[in-house]
Structure 1
């Protein structure tokens, strides 16, 4: 149903890129954000209120930092629960608590509004190139209606089950991402301090059993001094790991492997890297190891900034 009108609420790191992907392919978007100037940068028309975003759209995409922000947008005064019409579809692209998502889905369903929880993976680069992976919870018929829309910014879309299953899948995936990034950072710092060439060490890992997303996609850039700035921050990575731990507690599963990323990103966030890309965890570990860097660049862009 490519004639559906689209609104995007939250035009930050991911939402802004997704909105731009949609507008660049010829589709009008209403954009609502706490910073009104962001809409123009994405090619969207600014919607001053949630009510105007809802009234001018058939599908509302949410891209917000956490569950409290999503709850405020949906349940707050003048929020989507009040403003959306029966039959309208709300798609939550945020990384959020599945328990909160299920509650919001039930509240919206009572008014005939459909919620799809659609976790996205791939980061800012994939959002810009339209190659995100999306994992979706909610009614399959609603998902099928939006095939055309997801196709504008995603390469793969996986239906995962009932409302909440998309966000649960995202937390499980993000936890593995956090583990691999934290562990690889520690290993690369140790290798550097042991006198190993970072590029040679990375080649060995990528040819062996230690290969992972961080070694394949992140560290080939990091060892050149390019941290791929603009992606998920250390603070948001910590938030995601804590959501994972909470979800496992709800499921009655022990989170035995969470201590590593919690310690690593806790260190990074407490030593000046909280609002930098999460890849900077390697510098936090390097700082604690005597100022080690896994690259040879010395320009200001690679220095730690509070």
Structure 2
């Protein structure tokens, strides 16, 4: 960026799906223009962005480029496509908001640096609800000065930003956090199915858990809604949750750390995929466990007059870019 542009950088956004679209809307809602690219034209307009013809065009025209894509495979397909790296220019900062392999991230960062740019990895936490409110938590790896340079952009959709270290550190911390998320979600789902089969009052069970040592984000924020039939909209699908756990196991294998607790979430979210919940929100893992436990559902629609259909939050097909 030139000196004249330091306070108002031009912003590009590649990947305007479930999370990217919400983050981009936070920027455009503040009156800041965004040049966007997504394979789905409706996602660009829904984010309030101006449409670019390609990802390369976004890079060529932007001081700050944000990426929100499903995984390293897609990120690499975009970054290593013809013209992308050649469009990178001096002083440009590219922020990868995807959940990606730290090794892949570091390799891309080195390539971007060769062309004069800086590549930051910024894992996100908070899900669709936080993205909608501009209250995400970001865990960032890479150059600290570049992070400060783009912080005003990130502030549009985040409330907390941690600089975690060198390139790859942000995505590493994200994988560690997501693994704990997967463990507590799948374990709490199993416990709640057991509580249902035991004939217990589920609200009371959650009150006890949340006042005791079993408390977690899942018990505090997810299951009080799920037991009333609200599976919550947005967030990771079962497919993406399984992908994140797999990336975690690859990470700890490379680090030489024994992963004694990965079998549970791998089995749980793998089960959800196998039973047809692949593209539904990962909270539906409780229904997958319920399916093989005698057809258990935590919510009894007869108690609230609903028609017995699976809640809208469970039916929603999410886009992951």
- 2:310 counterpart residue number: 301
| 2:90 is aligned with 1:94 | no
* C-alpha RMSD of the superposition: 1.3
Please state how far the C-alpha of 1:137 moved relative to its aligned partner: 0.3
Structure 1's consecutive aligned runs of 4 or more residues displaced over 6 angstroms after TM superposition are: 303-306
Higher RCO (CA-CA < 8 Å; seq separation 6+): 2
**Pairing 1:213-232 to 2, within 5 Å after superposition:** 213-232=217-236
**Could you tell me which of 97, 120, 126 is aligned with 1:122?**
126
SS at match of 1:155: strand
> In the aligned structure 2, how far is the partner of 1:82 from the partner of 1:13?
29
Q: Tell whether 2:15 aligns with 1:3.
A: no
Q: Is the 8 A contact 2:88 2:116 kept in 1?
A: no
Q: CA deviation at 1:54?
A: 1.4
Structure 1 equivalent of residue 46 of structure 2 = 41
Deviation (angstroms), 1:133: 0.2
Distance 1:251 1:274 in 2: 29
C-alpha deviation, 1:86, in angstroms = 1.8
1:111, CA displacement in angstroms? 1.4
Query: Residue 68 of structure 1: SS of its match in structure 2?
Result: helix
Find the counterpart in structure 2 of residue 52 from structure 1: 57
2:203 equivalent to 1:194: no
Q: Is the 8 A contact 1:229 1:276 kept in 2?
A: no
CA distance in 1, matches of 2:63, 2:258: 41
For 1:255 and 1:82, how far apart are their aligned partners in 2? 40
Q: Are positions 1:21 and 2:30 aligned together? A: no
Q: What secondary structure, in the 3-state scheme, does the structure 2 residue paired with 1:218 have? A: helix
- With the length of structure 1 as denominator, give the TM-score of the two structures: 0.97
User: Take 1:26 and 1:2, find their aligned partners in 2: how far apart are those partners?
Assistant: 14
Q: What are the within-5 Å matches in structure 2 for residues 1-306 of structure 1?
A: 1-79=6-84, 81-297=85-301, 298-302=307-311
Q: How many Å separate the matches in 1 of 2:87 and 2:25?
A: 25
8 Å Cα contact 1:67-1:97 kept in structure 2: yes
Residues 6 and 60 in structure 1, CA contact (< 8 A), matched pair in contact too: yes
Please, which runs of 5 or more residues in structure 2 have no aligned partner? 1-5, 302-306
2:140 aligned counterpart, secondary structure: strand
SS in 2 for 1:65: coil
The TM-score normalised by the length of structure 2 is 0.93
| C-alpha distance in 1 between matches for 2:209 and 2:26 | 35
For 1:2 and 1:193, locate their aligned partners in 2 and report how far apart those are by CA, in whole Å.
Answer: 58
Displacement of 1:299: 2.7
Q: In structure 2, what is the Cα distance between the partners aligned to 1:106 and 1:252?
A: 25
Q: Secondary structure at the match of 2:160?
A: strand
